[in-house]
Amino acid sequence: MAPPERPAAVPRDPTRVVIEGVAPEIDAGRFPAKRVVGESLEVEADVFTDGHDLVAAALWVRPPGDEPTVEHAMVPLGNDRWSSTVVPDRLGRWAFTVVGWVDRFGTWRHGTLRKVEAGQDVDVELQIGAELVRAAAGRAKGPDATLLADVASVLEEGDADGITADGLEAAMRRWASREPLVRYGRTLEVVVERERAGHGAWYEFFPRSASPDPDRHGTLADAADRLPYVASMGFDVVYLPPIHPIGREFRKGPNNSVTSAPGDLGSPWGIGAEEGGHTAVHPELGTLDDLDAFVARASSLGMEVALDIAFQCAPDHPWVTEHPEWFRHRPDGTIQYAENPPKKYQDIYPIDFESEDWEALWDALADVVRFWIGHGVTIFRVDNPHTKPFRFWEWLIASIQADHPEAIFLSEAFTRPKVMHQLAKAGFSQSYTYFAWRQSAWELREYFTELTTPPLVDAFRPNAWPNTPDILTEQLQHGGRPVFVQRLVLAATLSANYGIYGPAFELVAHRAVAPGSEEYLDSEKYQRRVWDLDAPHSLRHLIARVNDIRRSHPALLQNRTLRFHPTDNEQLLCYSKTDPAGGVPVLVVVNVDPHHRQSGFVHLDLETLGVDPHHRYEVHDLLGAARYSWEGSANYVELDPEVLPAHIFAIGRPSRSESDFEHFA
Amino acid sequence: MAPPERPAAVPRDPTRVVIEGVAPEIDAGRFPAKRVVGESLEVEADVFTDGHDLVAAALWVRPPGDEPTVEHAMVPLGNDRWSSTVVPDRLGRWAFTVVGWVDRFGTWRHGTLRKVEAGQDVDVELQIGAELVRAAAGRAKGPDATLLADVASVLEEGDADGITADGLEAAMRRWASREPLVRYGRTLEVVVERERAGHGAWYEFFPRSASPDPDRHGTLADAADRLPYVASMGFDVVYLPPIHPIGREFRKGPNNSVTSAPGDLGSPWGIGAEEGGHTAVHPELGTLDDLDAFVARASSLGMEVALDIAFQCAPDHPWVTEHPEWFRHRPDGTIQYAENPPKKYQDIYPIDFESEDWEALWDALADVVRFWIGHGVTIFRVDNPHTKPFRFWEWLIASIQADHPEAIFLSEAFTRPKVMHQLAKAGFSQSYTYFAWRQSAWELREYFTELTTPPLVDAFRPNAWPNTPDILTEQLQHGGRPVFVQRLVLAATLSANYGIYGPAFELVAHRAVAPGSEEYLDSEKYQRRVWDLDAPHSLRHLIARVNDIRRSHPALLQNRTLRFHPTDNEQLLCYSKTDPAGGVPVLVVVNVDPHHRQSGFVHLDLETLGVDPHHRYEVHDLLGAARYSWEGSANYVELDPEVLPAHIFAIGRPSRSESDFEHFA
């Protein structure tokens, strides 16, 4: 590889406008930023020149496809910062850049008006202005051409009224010379995805446990019958673990034992057997038709289905014999199984992305995704993406979205921060997070501040899960029902995307396989479970309430406006989200101590909440239904975890009567 | 200009290593970072890959000229961050980039050792390792080739001792395959300037006032006789305002009056008259020979001369007739004078950088700089650079430094922050600052924290001036001698480069031309002044002491280690600088209230100071000469502005006796 280039001589360039500090820009434009349809894209840039001349700037936006580039004027924010906001209205990769120029007309107008005010002779200035306007008239079309020619004549006659002629500024904005126009050095991109990429409530469950008959393996048909229950809790996305044939060689037994008995079901992530691989349905679950019916049933209930993409193979996966070159062979001729020395995972063969045949391999993997898209599934939860090359995901997601911009990919990576961020930058629509292990108020404040501010907010969309089949935190094991409620509220209100693994979650399942382990006892990863969905301790109605609050409060369905407010009790976490479209602000107070009643004052940033500090305002607890009349920044809160560990307040505008308040509650 | 490019399809790239977040990197490599010879350049980068494989990284550095690229190993800092430090040893533009690769041997060694520890069979692993080592042996030269071939044989024989064979790791670091090597996407640059760019104490004075005879105009010869006085105060750089012929048309009178009487001297910045322009010496000051003698005299006293570069012309500058195309003509045929409507500066014609003849103009301006370099001057204080195009300066400075890397340029811009920063990024070695107007403790903390941390610290070298001929702050007008002492100590210890305009400063000149004005009464910009250098109230001996402290404490001669320490009295500003080379740390405490004695505790970050928190340590006031024995973080300080408003402490290592302390004091 060549050594660093020798520094080139600095070229002569007579242009004067500087454009820099453009945002959003991720790693100097190496990766696109993310938005969803209808979400604002505010582009900012530093634009300035030397001396006293005024500048002007514009945002150039190229929509996907063959649509022409559109120019949007930028407005100054002060301190040489300029801004323009567009709202992307279609899916795909948008391109944008910023242009700037010396505003010669504006500079002339400003200076000449100052001279007129000071009573100075402006005869020569009027001639200078006339030249500018006359030149623009020559370029102008339609009524502008006439107007500009007329004003030029007025100025040529020495009449200072021409400076402030009606319509002159607007016409000059359209037709004045911008030479030499300066363009920002890079074209930046934004991937615009559909609304569901931006927000959603997810519910994961194992079809194998969906049978109404405790003695029978659940099927996709049983799972379809479970969907009304899931819909009743208000979820948007139903996510199924892998539905493919499960390998028999080295199959794991219950509780992850390394040997299995006949009849043991194995892990759905041990993908592939003689019945087929990544595009087949496990015979015990049913057929492709059953899957189609499941997808249709979910759709009829207003939900979407997410499938699991786990690019790894059981030893008896058909690819192992059909494409041995896609696996790493050891000097003794055996295929390298997964390992993290000294741990061995002999039931899993990793795919060898350094295979000589990598291009065909990549195509085959992309075809798996396309296959399921062909069956109406466009949301994919990707298992362990951090063990495959980042550039593979970047290519895969871009390739799929080029044809199917509606496809959504969730990264299931729980690893080092830079690796997780890289996967998000490489294109994953959403990402699992450290949420499960961020439990104190300061940890949650720090982490969600990082997630909801640049640079992360433009690339990384958190999907917060209190539990998963792999994660039963020590807090959930020992905190009882209050901690399940607390964690549900936190996930659902801190993050526009969140999910639970059920029915374990709503049934408060909390027994681990061993002390110090985060694995569930009798985990569904390795066996069927029978769940009593009607158990009286179920959180299903509370979950339904929380999801209903989310749906009726757009403030909760995005992350960018999340703000934390100080409290004088560190066990009380207080935060708000405001709706960029002007809907009701939501204020959440959570007692993060599951064991004791906690009380104290919250100190609200009223400006953020849009509350007039000089008037009383109403807060309505959407969870507990109480209403309070508050005043000023400091307000008292008391939360008993045994009753409800959280308030989710709708914040009222200053109001005089209950009825004024009703309209937005 | 073309619209934004349509997003390209994401290419297929099978490489797995990510390199990003490289520092120092200014605006994605658009501008070089800055260092001086002998100053450390620590390059950091995020380097990682997918999965569990280890990676390795190296820094490639290309020195200026034809020297070959040198590789430096990078070491992991944790959290996927890697670092390598080089110390540039010559002037010029250096290039560097970062490379990374999957460390297959390291990954194999780590995993195999874990398996051996766990008592697992590693027969196949030894064969895998043997292949890696055998391949490296084929590439190796010298003793490494033998060693690697021998170890490969040991491994092939199934002997696990081969894994830990002496010298194997080091030899594999040299010869193991790096394929596929990944290189960071950009080559970055560092401009390495000479030591004087990094630190210096500047003294500005007007030769016109240097005459020993109060009735006679001062000359360069008089100014040369003033040099021993300047040297006695310990300054490094003597800066003279423009020494060129002064225009006669529209010449300003004393105190900036718009009319001048015969015999009025005019402003040195009104450059050019029939006697010549930017390469001529004002006849009243003397000749080019006198300038040469002045430069030689300064050099013999250990000082350098800085000249003023003010690219503007008086109406009678020779260029106005020789090159009328370099000035802007108005429709009435007159030349556009400088203005900021409604203010007019009819004594100054700005140069028109948008001239059709701009290339010849740029060459002529560069020739001015080369002319004075030819007379032994390599430091230039550039007047109002922000009214000329940034790209002009970028070209000019790079062009001059290509032939004369010893040339140093100080930007005299007091304008909006982004404009000042852009000039620094464009190449100015040093920059004037807002220091004069940052007077409270919190303002100084905030401003100097910004200046001494990335991104600014890599581009912008502050040169802090308490006063200039244009700036007599209200604080200096009314604060008396205590404020002069305070501001001197702040400038000299907060900033590695600082300067004063004398003799006005050391003689505590504080009368403004009018209430609310920052202009000096009877400013030397428009007339001669007579100064009594031996006045008993002169600060010359205190200044000499401060400059002596600087010279003997390298910690003060750089900015990067500046750290502020909390105090419990907001009138006490406390900060330290540590010497990267391990010299004595310096701790400064300043009472920023010039009117009252202030006392309180400072709370030191002892780790930053390298002080053992469990032992007493000595602090020696280099300014007041007192010594104190301190312990722990919190220590009491009391400062009376009428005595001395500041401590400049040398911090002792834990010591048992006075003599231990002496060696570094």
Number of domains in chain A: 4
pLDDT at B631: 93
Classify residue B248 by burial, with Cβ atoms within 10 Å: 0-12, 13-18, 19+: middle
Q: Is the pLDDT of residue A663 over 60?
A: no
ipTM over 0.90: yes
Classify residue B561 by burial, with Cβ atoms within 10 Å: 0-12, 13-18, 19+: middle
* C-alpha radius of gyration, chain A, whole number: 30
Same domain assignment for residues A121 and A30? no
A354 contacts chain B (CB < 8 A): yes
- Whether A662 is in a domain gets the answer no
What's the one-letter identity of residue B19? Answer: I
Q: Is the pLDDT of residue A350 over 80?
A: yes
Tell me the CATH number at A611.
Answer: 2.60.40.1180
Q: How far is CA B597 from CA A624, B420, B466, B602, in A?
A: 58, 36, 22, 16
Quote the CA–CA distance of B232 and B213 in Å, as a whole number: 22
User: Which whole number is the average pLDDT over B273-286?
Assistant: 98
pLDDT at A479: 94
User: Which whole number is the average pLDDT over B30-46?
Assistant: 97
Tokens 């009328």 identify what position? Answer: B324
- Of A1-10, A202-211, A460-469, B591-600, the one with minimum mean pLDDT is A1-10
Final residue before a domain boundary, out of A192, A219, A252: A192
Quote the CA–CA distance of A262 and A285 in Å, as a whole number: 18
Alpha carbon A97 to its chain centroid, in Å, reads: 23
Chain B residues touching A353 at Cβ < 8 A? 14, 16
The shortest C-alpha distance from B633 to chain A (Å) reads 26
Over residues B202-261, the pLDDT tens digits come to 999 999 999 999 999 999 999 999 999 999 999 999 999 999 999 999 999 999 998 889
Q: Which of B569, B565, B592 is nearest to B578 (CA)?
A: B565
Over residues B382-435, the pLDDT tens digits come to 999 999 999 999 999 999 999 999 999 999 999 999 999 999 999 999 999 999
Quote the CA–CA distance of B46 and B48 in Å, as a whole number: 7
Tell me the CATH number at A382.
Answer: 3.20.20.80
Binding residue per annotation — A526? yes
Q: Is the pLDDT of residue B656 over 70?
A: no
Considering CB atoms only, which of A16, A115, A342 is closest to B120? A342
Q: Which residues pair with B430 in a beta bridge?
A: B410
Classify residue B215 by burial, with Cβ atoms within 10 Å: 0-12, 13-18, 19+: exposed
| In contact, B410 and B306? CB cutoff 8 Å | yes
Final residue before a domain boundary, out of B517, B540, B557: B557
Q: For the whole model, what pTM was predicted?
A: 0.95
What lies within 8 Å, CB to CB, of B24 at 6+ separation is B33, B41, B43, B188, B190, B454, B458
Same domain assignment for residues B433 and B502? yes
Over residues B119-150, the pLDDT tens digits come to 999 999 999 999 999 999 999 999 999 999 99
Q: What percent of chain B has pLDDT over 70?
A: 98
Same domain assignment for residues B500 and B386? yes
Classify residue B412 by burial, with Cβ atoms within 10 Å: 0-12, 13-18, 19+: buried
Alpha carbon A392 to its chain centroid, in Å, reads: 21
The shortest C-alpha distance from A436 to chain B (Å) reads 20
One-character DSSP codes across A517-560: --SBTT-TTTS-----TT-TT--HHHHHHHHHHHHH-GGGG-ST
Q: What percent of chain A has pLDDT over 90?
A: 94
Same domain assignment for residues B499 and B646? no
User: Which whole number is the average pLDDT over A601-611?
Assistant: 96
Supply the mean pLDDT for chain A. 96
Token representation of residue B569: 């009295």
| In contact, A559 and A449? CB cutoff 8 Å | no
- Whether B263 is in a domain gets the answer yes
Same domain assignment for residues A291 and A428? yes
Same domain assignment for residues B390 and B259? yes
Q: How far is CA B434 from CA A401, B24, B227, B576, in A?
A: 51, 25, 29, 21
Same domain assignment for residues A471 and A540? yes
Tell me the CATH number at A33.
Answer: 2.60.40.10
Query: Beta strand A304-309 with B33-36: parallel, antiparallel or unpaired?
Result: unpaired
A132 contacts chain B (CB < 8 A): no
Quote the CA–CA distance of A246 and A267 in Å, as a whole number: 7
Token representation of residue A13: 């360039």
Token representation of residue A358: 């990598």
Chain A residues touching B4 at Cβ < 8 A? 60-62, 69, 95-97, 187
Same domain assignment for residues A545 and A587? no
Classify residue B601 by burial, with Cβ atoms within 10 Å: 0-12, 13-18, 19+: middle
Binding residue per annotation — B347? yes
- Whether B665 is in a domain gets the answer no
| Ramachandran angles phi, psi of A179, nearest 5° | -75, 140
Q: What angle do CA A313, A318, A319 make, to 5 degrees?
A: 65
Binding residue per annotation — B252? yes
Final residue before a domain boundary, out of B135, B160, B192: B192
| In contact, A565 and A602? CB cutoff 8 Å | yes
- Give buried/exposed letters for A159-196 (b at 16+ CB in 10 A, else e): ebebbebeebeebbeebbebeeebbbebbbbbbbbbeb
Q: Which domain holds residue B446?
A: 194-322+362-557
> What three-state secondary structure class fits B410?
strand
Considering CB atoms only, which of A3, A16, A61 is closest to B69? A3
| In contact, A512 and A469? CB cutoff 8 Å | no
Mutate to test the interface with B, among A50, A52, A86, A387 (most CBs of B within 10 A): A50
- Whether A305 is in a domain gets the answer yes
Alpha carbon B409 to its chain centroid, in Å, reads: 11
Which residue of B lies nearest to A45 if distances are taken between CA atoms?
B418
Q: Is the pLDDT of residue B266 over 80?
A: yes
User: Which whole number is the average pLDDT over A43-71?
Assistant: 96
Tokens 């053992």 identify what position? Answer: B612
Q: Is B255 left (phi over 0), alpha (psi -120 to 50) or beta?
A: left
Residues of chain A numbered 505-534 and touching chain B (CB < 8 Å): none
Same domain assignment for residues B535 and B413? yes
- Whether A279 is in a domain gets the answer yes
Considering CB atoms only, which of B20, B187, B395 is closest to A12? B395
Q: Is the pLDDT of residue A603 over 70?
A: yes
- Whether B335 is in a domain gets the answer no
Which residues of A are identified as catalytic? 383, 412
pLDDT at A148: 98
Q: What percent of chain A has pLDDT over 70?
A: 98
Q: Is the pLDDT of residue B527 over 60?
A: yes
With cut-offs at 50, 70 and 90, classify the pLDDT of residue A6: confident
pLDDT at B584: 95
Which residues of B are identified as catalytic? 383, 412
- Whether A337 is in a domain gets the answer no
Q: Are B331 and A185 within 8 A, CB to CB? A: no
Same domain assignment for residues A91 and A70? yes
Tokens 């040198």 identify what position? Answer: B70
Q: Is the pLDDT of residue A483 over 50?
A: yes
Token representation of residue A110: 């400003």
Query: Beta strand B430-432 with B462-464: parallel, antiparallel or unpaired?
Result: parallel
With cut-offs at 50, 70 and 90, classify the pLDDT of residue B3: confident
Contacts 24+ apart (CB under 8 A), B543-547: B543/B233, B543/B234, B543/B488, B543/B500, B543/B506, B544/B232, B544/B233, B544/B234, B545/B623, B546/B234, B546/B488, B546/B489, B546/B492, B546/B493, B546/B623, B546/B648, B547/B201, B547/B233, B547/B234, B547/B235, B547/B492
| Ramachandran angles phi, psi of A431, nearest 5° | -140, 135
pLDDT at A4: 87
Same domain assignment for residues A140 and A94? no
Please indicate whether residue B91 or residue A653 has the higher confidence score (pLDDT). B91
Q: Are A4 and B60 within 8 A, CB to CB? A: yes
* Cα dihedral across residues A157, A159, A160, A166: positive or negative: negative
Token representation of residue B582: 């391990």
Residues of chain B numbered 404-433 and touching chain A (CB < 8 Å): 416-419, 422
B53 contacts chain A (CB < 8 A): no
The shortest C-alpha distance from A151 to chain B (Å) reads 18
Q: Which of A56, A21, A33, A42 is nearest to A84 (CA)?
A: A42
With cut-offs at 50, 70 and 90, classify the pLDDT of residue B4: confident
What lies within 8 Å, CB to CB, of A492 at 6+ separation is A201, A498, A546, A547, A550, A556
Same domain assignment for residues A112 and A226? no
Tokens 């080739």 identify what position? Answer: B145
Considering CB atoms only, which of A15, A115, A394 is closest to B391? A15
- Whether A339 is in a domain gets the answer no
Q: Which of A74, A96, A97 is nearest to A84 (CA)?
A: A74
The single-letter DSSP state of residue B496 is: S
Considering CB atoms only, which of B7, B112, B395 is closest to A95? B7
The shortest C-alpha distance from A412 to chain B (Å) reads 13
A403 contacts chain B (CB < 8 A): no
